[in-house]
Amino acid sequence: MKKLLIATICLLSGVLMLAQPKVQVATYEHDFGTFREEDGRQSYNFEIVNTGNAPLVIQNVVASCGCTTPTWTKSPIPPNGKGIVTAMYDPAGRPGPFNKTLTVYTNASPSTVVLVIKGEVKEREKTIEELFTFPVGKGVRFESNHLAFTTIKKTEKKIRVMPVINTSNELAKIEFENVPGHLQLKAVPETLKPGQKGVIEGTYDATKNGNWGTVTDVVRVKVNGVAQENTWFYVSANLVEDFSNLTKEELENAPVFKVQAATVDLGDMLPSTTKDVEFKFTNEGKRDLIIRHIRSTCGCTAVNQSSSNIVKPGETGTIKATFNSGSYKGRVTKAIYVYTNDPNHSEVILMLNANVIEKK
């Protein structure tokens, strides 16, 4: 009797061990081919078959990116039954080819199955409003309200253009006012016909601008002789010194701006109080160091001129500033930009930190 019981238990155990789900997938990869971005989300159903002899449970499906949303059969799939893993791909803002994976976790052995979706999204054609984002008057639209010249050497003159369109049913003559002397702006053609495209052409003469570093000019746009209210066009440039003509000997004997401490911590400050800060520097080069320009990032930091604009080799100078804590709260960091004739340190950033605490 005992031997029969043991044999029965072994038999049942063997049956249980042999009872396992098994995953079979009709296809492990689907190619959506080429489709347009405006076609919207694309989906495909991967068919999962349980070829085992126990219920199959799809426990989870994880996509390789947020652009792919998976759904799947949540109930157990019986032997010889079928389930579905749906992959939905969102092409919005994702032009170009794609290749994504979905990892399917099950109670089978092996426990994971990797599915692949791929294809190519053709970028949708952008609207006039998307291509020309800055409206000016009735029907005139610029590509942007900002014409950036990026970096310009102080010896250079650069030209930049920006697309413009007239979407109205009338002629549109485009002009600019409050234009500084170092800048020229014009529309080409000056008068746009209805539906016509053109360009805004800007010419920046850095030799006529006495500033250094990042400089922004603000001008007003006129359409058909009327200045557009609350419509401003921004022109920016980063003005830097031209070291390209220096000889090897001149570079070896150039001035060297060496600051003792580029960051100063002012410690705790009460609101609406001021503290002075002093940055010391030395000219470690072989020729005179010239401090071209000093500016701060905000009005809360008043920068005093350097102790001397010209520092002889081996001599030390100072840059003083006063920080006003105003209505700031907590940790505050401000920057001071120093422009010099040091070829390797023509723009130096000095930092000051403060912790503005509330009054007790």
> pLDDT of 91-115, one tens digit each?
998 999 999 999 999 999 999 999 9
The answer for 15, left when phi > 0, alpha when psi is -120 to 50, beta otherwise, is alpha
185: nearest Cα among 151, 162, 208: 162
SS3 assignment, position 142: strand
Residue 181 has pLDDT above 80, yes or no: yes
Predicted confidence (pLDDT) at residue 11 exceeds the cutoff of 70: no
When pLDDT is cut at 50, 70 and 90, the band that residue 360 belongs to is low
Spatial separation of the C-alpha atoms in residues 242 and 56, rounded to whole Å: 72
- Of the ranges 17-21, 39-43, 122-126, the best mean pLDDT one: 39-43
**6, exposed or middle or buried, with CB in 10 Å at 0-12, 13-18, 19+?**
exposed
Q: What is the CA angle 131-135-137, rounded to 5?
A: 145
Q: For residue 68, what are the contacts with CB-CB under 8 A and spacing of at least 6?
A: 87, 88, 89, 90, 100, 102, 117
Q: What is the largest CA-CA distance in the chain?
A: 112
Burial class (CB in 10 A: 0-12, 13-18, 19+), 213: middle
List, in sequence order, the alpha helices (H) in 229-271.
248-252
For residues 126 and 132, give the distance between their C-alpha atoms in angstroms, rounded to a whole number. Answer: 10
pLDDT of residue 17: 53
Q: 3: which 2 tokens?
A: 């031997």
pLDDT bin (cut points 50, 70, 90) of residue 8 is very low
Residue 55 pLDDT exceeds 90? yes
CA atoms of 356 and 230, how far apart (whole Å): 36
When pLDDT is averaged across residues 69-76 and rounded to a whole number, the result is 95
**pLDDT for res 308:** 80
The mean pLDDT value of the chain amounts to 92
pLDDT bucket at 16, cuts 50 / 70 / 90 = very low
- Backbone φ and ψ of 131, nearest 5°: -80, -35
Whether residue 6 is predicted with pLDDT greater than 70 in this model: the reply is: no
Of 154, 185, 166, 64, nearest to 114 by C-alpha is 64
Return all residues near 304 (Cβ < 8 A) that are at least 6 apart: 319, 320, 321, 322
Predicted local confidence at residue 29, as pLDDT: 96
pTM for the model stands at 0.67
Q: Residue 7 has what pLDDT?
A: 47
The DSSP symbol for 37 reads G
Instruction: Please report, rounded to a whole number, the percentage of residues in the chain having pLDDT higher than 70.
Output: 94
What was the pLDDT predicted at 135?
95
- Using only the alpha carbons of the chain, give its radius of gyration: 35
The whole-angstrom separation of Cα 210 and Cα 234 is 18
Question: What pLDDT, on a 0 to 100 scale, did the predictor assign at position 115?
Answer: 96
Domains of the chain, CATH where assigned: 21-122 (2.60.40.10), 128-240 (2.60.40.10), 248-356 (2.60.40.10)
C-alpha 17/C-alpha 341 separation (Å) is 82
Of 144-158, 295-309, 342-356, give the lowest mean pLDDT range. Answer: 295-309
pLDDT in the model for residue 19: 84
Per-residue pLDDT tens digits for 215-230: 999 999 999 999 988 8
Of 56, 66, 145, 75, the closest CA to residue 98 belongs to: 66
Non-local CB neighbours of 122 within 8 Å, separated by 6+ positions: 34, 35, 36, 37, 95
Residue whose entry in the numeric block shows the structure tokens 């979407």: 167
Lowest-pLDDT range of 19-28, 99-108, 242-251, 297-306: 297-306
